[in-house]
Amino acid sequence: MRSLVLCATLAAMLLPSSAGAQSLPLTESAALARLSPNSPRVRAIRAAIEVARADVLAAGRWPNPRVTFDRESVAGVTENMTMVAQLLPITGRRGFEVQAASALVDASSNRSDDAMRRARVDLRLAFAQLVAAQVRERELATSRDRLRGLAEVLAKREAAGDAAGFDRLRAEREVLDVDADRASASTERARAQTTIAGFFADTIDSSRIVAVDRTTPPAAVPALDALVETAESVRGELLALRKEVDAAHFSARAADRRGVPEPEIVAGTKSSTLGGGDLGSVVTVHAVVPLFDRGRPERALALARASQAEARADAFRLALRSDIAALRAAVLERRETADRYRSAAVDTAGQIERIAQVSYDEGERGILELLDAYRTGSAARVRQAALDLATRQAELELEFVSGWEIP
């Protein structure tokens, strides 16, 4: 019997620690650290840069030499010619094409940087959603357990004849409603955990992830002009459009060089059986005369692409300022709403519940008023989590759009 008691005691001591060991607590910074270069998302984003670099190699390659062998035999005389022809790209067109391709590599790199920032923001949004879901689930579980305890007390009082059966039934119904909301919050938590796990390189059980929220005082939001200035110097899409304009200009200059002939040097040997046979040399220079094709289509295409990139950049700037202004206003408004609700509703929720409990125990109020007080307090704490999540979402979207790093 003593051994059984000892085993039960050890199991009670060890099970909580082993359950805790199975969880994976993560702060936001720890979650971001797991977004490593080996992550499939990161590799997919960076792969576009390597594709663009291949175009630089293609633009900079030299043309291969051509080898020609010619044999002629007439009236007993045989002549053999072996020649090697090499096109010499000395007009500078190849250099401009390399510069254009390199500019497009920079554009791809800038867009990849923007995509990486977007991925980091998406991960932080999922983390914030997990924090809110955990708070909601924890609050609803606490409310359910409290209501369940109340229902048990009412059942005992009903059995003793001190309470009506309606009070017990109404409390049990409230337990069911709250537990249904808790199950919904549990589903939202699981969805956020799965989203976070999808960002990591290693495969982990998403149900183990626990978000550790380290709340810090909110940072002051910079002025609109400062945010716009930061965005114009940081946003990868805008920088990429500028690089596309540079690439188009280089392509236009390369098209202009098509009007300059590129020589082709041919050198080789010629042998003949005439007069006992002899061996000599052959040297030839070929050049394409740019009479009809002077690169006008290529130049028109390059200028059109430059004009398109400049127009897209102007439109992006206009939309950027509008987006930053709207998100900045949303951040300030949501912060104020969350703070006002916290001081006006959440801080007084516990007091309302205590007053309602005392009034019910003294017979001054009925079960409906008591349950309404419990429901109001729980709803206030759950809504506060939703308000904090909305504030965090607006802050992160403003950070991405403006390039402002939230401390």
Residues 211-235: pLDDT tens digits? 898 777 888 899 999 999 999 999 9
pLDDT at 163: 65
**Predicted confidence (pLDDT) per residue in 45-60, tens digit:** 888 898 889 999 988 8
pLDDT bin (cut points 50, 70, 90) of residue 146 is confident
For β-strands 209-211 and 24-26, DSSP reports them as: parallel
pLDDT at 3 over 80: no
- How distant, in Å, are the alpha carbons of 28, 190, 214, 356 from that of 31? 5, 16, 13, 43
Rounded to an integer, what distance in angstroms lies between the CA atom of residue 375 and that of residue 173?
Answer: 13
pTM of the model: 0.79
User: Alpha-carbon distance 47 to 358, whole Å?
Assistant: 66
306, containing H or E segment: helix 296-341
Supply the mean pLDDT for the chain.
86
What gap in Å lies between CA 380 and CA 372, rounded to an integer? 12
Task: Kindly write down the DSSP assignment for every residue of 85-128, as one continuous string.
Answer: EEE---SSHHHHHHHHHHHHHHHHHHHHHHHHHHHHHHHHHHHH
pLDDT at 17: 39
Picking from 264-273, 322-331, 332-341, 372-381, which range would have the lowest pLDDT averaged per residue?
372-381
Superfamily assignment of 24-402 in CATH? Outer membrane efflux proteins (OEP) (1.20.1600.10)
| Among 236, 230, 232, 229, residue whose Cα is nearest residue 113 | 236
In the predicted model, is pLDDT for residue 258 greater than 80?
yes
pLDDT band at residue 9 under the 50/70/90 scheme: very low
Q: Of 20-29, 57-66, 390-399, where does the model show the most confidence?
A: 390-399
pLDDT confidence bin for 7, thresholds 50/70/90: very low
Higher pLDDT, 327 or 354: 327
> How far is the C-alpha of 129 from the C-alpha of 121, rounded, in Å?
12
Domain range summary for the chain, segments of one domain joined by +: 24-402
What contacts 333, CB < 8 A, 6 or more positions away?
A: none
Token duo for residue 85: 């022809």
- Cβ contact 199:41 at 8 Å: yes
- φ, ψ dihedrals at 312, nearest 5°: -65, -35
What type of residue sits at position 392? Answer: R
Listing DSSP states for 25-43 in one string gives EE-HHHHHHT--TTSHHHH
**315-324 confidence digits (pLDDT tens):** 999 999 999 9
Provide the CA 125 distance to its chain's centre, in angstroms. Answer: 10
Q: For residues 112-135, give the mean pLDDT.
A: 93
pLDDT at 316: 94
What pLDDT was estimated at residue 21?
Answer: 47
Strands (DSSP E) contained in 310-387 are none
